[in-house]
């Protein structure tokens, strides 16, 4: 068994924030939503599944994406909300596949019940995009052990960037752990079981923190 941890590079922890950008594209009912989804910019679809996690919400959303939340709150369609919430964007190789799945679910709903239920004008679905502002934080690490104490205190922008935005890239936390050497292979496996779509950033931070803590405490026994 070989280990590469002698060659570990310093891992700079980054932080990020998003600037919401209104697209002026709206939908008042399910048919309009489906039609708009066919042509809306892919970054808008990405936002409503992922970047919305950085919004300063004061309570945990009942559903995992904005489309499901809107169907539940403003169209009062619980069944559709459940179906939309089950769409896991991490299971699709690109946004276009995700777009197709969204349209498929909505189209199926319309076929089963062609009646058009409209939201109030003030409750229309508003498609949004976001620009990300990325910057270095004050933190950096040279080995995975250091993340045990660091992850619990990171800003949520760092959790978002290193666990979601950089997924499988060079700045992904698990990529750093995996590249650190064979002695961290089990830690990498455990981190790979985390599916960020189903957690708030606070929950994701807590679960990742526990994985690191349990792994390194076990390594000492």
Could you report the per-residue pLDDT of 141-151, keeping only the tens digit for each? 999 999 999 99
Residue 147 burial (CB < 10 Å; 0-12/13-18/19+)? buried
Q: What integer pLDDT is reported at residue 8 of this predicted model?
A: 56
Q: pLDDT grade, residue 61 (50/70/90)?
A: confident
Say if residues 88 and 195 touch (Cβ distance below 8 Å): yes
Could you report the per-residue pLDDT of 104-138, keeping only the tens digit for each? 999 999 999 877 788 888 899 999 999 999 999 99
pTM above 0.85, yes or no: yes
pLDDT at 55 over 90: no
Rounded Cα distance, 60 and 46, in Å: 19
Nearest to 50 by CA among 177, 166, 149: 166
Q: What integer pLDDT is reported at residue 59 of this predicted model?
A: 64
């Amino acid at each position: 068994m070989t280990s590469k941890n002698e060659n570990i590079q310093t891992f700079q922890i980054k932080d990020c924030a998003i600037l919401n950008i209104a697209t002026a594209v709206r939908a008042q009912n399910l048919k309009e939503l489906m039609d708009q989804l066919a042509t809306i910019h892919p970054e808008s679809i990405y936002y409503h599944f992922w970047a919305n996690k950085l919004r300063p919400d004061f309570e945990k959303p009942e559903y995992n994406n904005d489309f499901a939340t809107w169907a539940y709150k403003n169209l009062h369609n619980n069944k559709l909300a459940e179906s939309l919430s089950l769409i896991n964007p991490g299971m699709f190789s690109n946004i276009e596949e995700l777009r197709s799945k969204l349209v498929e679910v909505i189209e199926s709903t319309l076929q089963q019940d062609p009646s058009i239920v409209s939201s109030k004008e003030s409750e229309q679905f508003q498609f949004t995009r976001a620009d990300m502002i990325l910057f270095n934080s004050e933190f950096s690490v040279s080995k995975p052990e250091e993340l045990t104490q660091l992850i619990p205190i990171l800003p949520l922008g760092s959790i978002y960037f290193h666990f979601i935005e950089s997924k499988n890239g060079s700045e992904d936390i698990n990529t750093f752990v995996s590249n650190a050497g064979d002695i961290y292979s089990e830690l990498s496996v455990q981190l790979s079981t985390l599916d960020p779509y189903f957690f708030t950033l606070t929950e994701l931070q807590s679960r990742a923190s526990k994985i690191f803590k349990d792994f390194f405490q076990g390594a000492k026994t």
